[in-house]
Amino acid sequence: MSYDLIGIGNALVDIEGQGDDVFIENAAVTKGGMTLSSIEDQNKILVSLQSKPKKISSGGSAANTVHGASVLGAKSYYLGRVANDSNGQHYTEDMKNCGVGFSGPGSDQEGTGTCVILITPDTERTMLTNLGVSSSLHPEIVDEKIVKNARSVYVEGYLWTGDDTREAGLCMARLAKKAGIPVSFTLSDAFVVNTFKESLVNFIQGDVDILFCNEVEARAMTGEAEPIVAFKSLQARGDTLFLTLGSK
């Protein structure tokens, strides 16, 4: 089967809740950013949110993009790992209901990754992420036949936080490049850029055709304070660039 878009990334169940700036400050996390978290720390946050409504859905950076493309009519497929637990089953059902091809749960009985997302009144999202079994994504999961039958592939920057996950992303990108298929990539988070900048620069220059980032990520990547200057600096490193500016 051929696909318009194949994405690869950390498969996470999103748990969204409302919180104000004071709540974010008390949680000791960076507003608007992603913090790797333990299950215990996530649970403390969720206990504090008990009286507030929460939304649970399939998530992950690349997964959300693939999901959105599917809603817009693209035939899409997602590569990510979930466990055979209630979260993994919910994730699989949710992805299939929105028309995204997905392999389903693995053999692990627990440990599907979760992301607690705190949304403040200004609509900013702050994430506490426990990767769970999504961190065991590895290059062997990348099916060369599926990649070669795609029109485009999409890789998320969050994969750079793990050696195996990064290699899985690199594997899919290089298979696509070899087959003449466009590779799109998102920087994902300033934390990712600041921690893995040299590796990202090499990857973008060698393998990426379409780069996505936001204003904060662009500044981190280039060291430039002005968005338009950062844009021009990044534009010189690749073919196509999309730089988002939030509400602007």
pLDDT tens by residue, 172-212: 999 999 999 999 999 999 999 999 999 999 999 999 999 99
DSSP 8-state code for residue 33: S
| Cα atoms in the Cβ-side hemisphere of radius 13 Å centred on 201 | 10
Note the pLDDT of residue 15.
93
At residue 28, the pLDDT reads: 87
Do 139 and 162 form a contact (C-beta atoms < 8 A)?
no
Per-residue model confidence (pLDDT) at position 63:
96
What distance in Å separates the CA atoms of residue 109 and residue 86, rounded to the nearest whole number? Answer: 9
Residues of the chain with pLDDT under 50: none
Q: What is the pLDDT of residue 48?
A: 86
Q: For position 179, what pLDDT does the model report?
A: 96
pLDDT value of residue 51: 75
Q: Which two tokens stand for residue 155?
A: 């890789």
> How are strands ordered across the β-sheet holding 113-119?
34-36, 125-130, 113-119, 12-18, 54-59
Q: Which residues contact 199 (CB under 8 A, 6 or more apart)?
A: 160, 166
This model's pTM is above 0.85: yes
| 153-156 and 5-8 beta bridge pairing | parallel
